[in-house]
Structure 1
Amino acid sequence: MSFVTPESLAEQIAGHLAERIIQGDLKSNERIQEGRVVQELEVSRGPVREALLLLESRHLVTILPRRGAIVTELTPHRVRSLYDMYVTLLTMLADLLARNWNDNNKQVLLDQAMRLQELASSQDKNAFILAGFELMRKAFTIANNDYLAQMLEDLQPAIHRTYAMSIRHSPDETELSRQFFSGLVTAVLSRDTDVLPKIFHSYGRHQCSLVLAAMQEEN
């Protein structure tokens, strides 16, 4: 028997606000007023405050003394720092994946990779982004490093925010992402660990440059 814990109200509120930040409805440094969220969602202040703390831990919100919660500012330095860390962690994940996969668990990766290929040419760019994160999560079990998995999960909302911004300004970039995932899966399945850092650093630099360009357009 297994028990599934329902998503808490705070998590639901955090998910709602995170989606607005990721899609650009809430901008950098914009104040998130507790009272307005309470009225809009018809909830009490307690879960809203808890949701804001969750979003702060996920790098989407900054809580300032006497000012309350604001959308975390995206600066060139923060974006570069974010991608430097994310690329390093993903390279570690892929390296473990290449070393640990076997005939019993590789099919789940192949199935998700095929899903990505199908979504790359669709109009639903957000579904493509989410499928990429799902591929990462399916790799967690095979990689078998809970600390690494937690760090990547903590950074995922911030990366989702920047990636969604780049897609809004460069919608055709999903094709390059498709090629990246295809090359990555090939390298992992051939256990070519030497090429993995090059694959990730090249894609990370390109993606970071797209985000920086998108930021200039939005400012």
Structure 2
Amino acid sequence: MAAEEQDLLALRRNSTLSSLVADRIERFILSGQLPAGERINEAVLAKELGVSRGPIREAARLLASQGLVEFVANKGAFVREVSRAGLLEIYDLRAVLTGHACELAARERDEGGVSALRGLHAEMSDAAKSDPALYYTLNLRFHDQLVRMASSPRLQAMIDGLVKEMHLFRQVSLSRHPDMAQSNREHNEIIEAIAMGDEASARRLGEAHVRAGKMRFETAARSTAS
């Protein structure tokens, strides 16, 4: 095999390994195992993941390009922190994009997708009674299903990026426990608008739902601060 071909294969292997490592570190970040502000310790992660420090370094660069990690001069890479003001801005951006996703979903009127939303809504109704952690997980799945029903990969990538950034807020627990019953009633209104193919209502309700979530977060934050 020619030297150039060997170099190309090595580059592909390294790129693939770095991507796999980046996926693992991303899961650590989103789960809270690597909290906002935490330093990306190359030696510790290399040992834990069974790789050399090179792929860890490349993975950190990949995650920095996605907004999850930031480099500090002479200190290294850190899990990025999102301020409260930054989180509120994310809510505003997500509201507009979610409204657009709901409008597109209503245009598509995918019966299978609507059925999936109804199933998640029913599960959330049960979780809202006593299990905030489960409700939060189901809520993420509900919104992911909504966006997938819009059939717009670019829109999904934009919203996914914003959702990931929300995990970087140090007081993320404040945004995980809204008025769950009210939030789920809003979900049901969105489902019905999509099922009827009412694009305008779906857009309005989707955007209003995220803005209401922002208000619930602000109320929880004020309550915690007092």
Same fold, TM exceeding 0.5? yes
Corresponding residue for residue 142 of structure 2: 132
- Using the aligned pairs only, state the percent identity: 23
Determine helix, strand or coil for the equivalent of 2:200: coil
**1:75 offset after TM fit, Å?**
0.8
Corresponding residue for residue 65 of structure 2: 57
Instruction: Give the one of 43, 51, 61 matched to 2:51.
Output: 43
**1:164 offset after TM fit, Å?**
5.8
Corresponding residue for residue 174 of structure 1: 180
Determine helix, strand or coil for the equivalent of 1:165: helix
1:74 aligns with 2:82: yes
Superposition pairs of residues 14-33 of structure 1, within 5 angstroms: 14-33=22-41
Indicate conservation of the 8 Å contact 1:10/1:48, yes or no. yes
Q: What is the TM-score normalised by the length of structure 1?
A: 0.74
Structure 1 residue runs of 4+, over 6 Å off? none
Indicate conservation of the 8 Å contact 2:95/2:210, yes or no. yes
**1:210 offset after TM fit, Å?**
4.4
Contiguous gaps of at least 5 residues in structure 2: 1-15
Contiguous gaps of at least 5 residues in structure 1: 1-7
Number of residue pairs matched?
Answer: 203
Corresponding residue for residue 148 of structure 1: 155
Summarize the Cα distance change of 1:112–1:70 in structure 2 as closer, same or farther, 3 Å threshold.
same
**Structure with larger Rg:** 2
Q: Tell me how far apart the structure 2 counterparts of residues 161 and 178 of structure 1 sit (CA, whole Å).
A: 24
Instruction: Give the one of 79, 83, 96 matched to 2:91.
Output: 83
Q: What is the TM-score normalised by the length of structure 2?
A: 0.72
CA offset digits 1:36-73 (Å, max 9, x no partner): 21122222223322332333233322223333221211
Q: Tell me how far apart the structure 1 counterparts of residues 61 and 216 of structure 2 sit (CA, whole Å).
A: 29
Q: Tell me how far apart the structure 2 counterparts of residues 137 and 12 of structure 1 sit (CA, whole Å).
A: 25
Determine helix, strand or coil for the equivalent of 2:77: strand
**1:120 offset after TM fit, Å?**
4.3
CA offset digits 1:11-60 (Å, max 9, x no partner): 44334433333343433322222122112222222332233233323332
Determine helix, strand or coil for the equivalent of 2:212: helix
Which amino acid in the other structure matches residue 158 of structure 2?
Answer: M
Corresponding residue for residue 202 of structure 1: 208
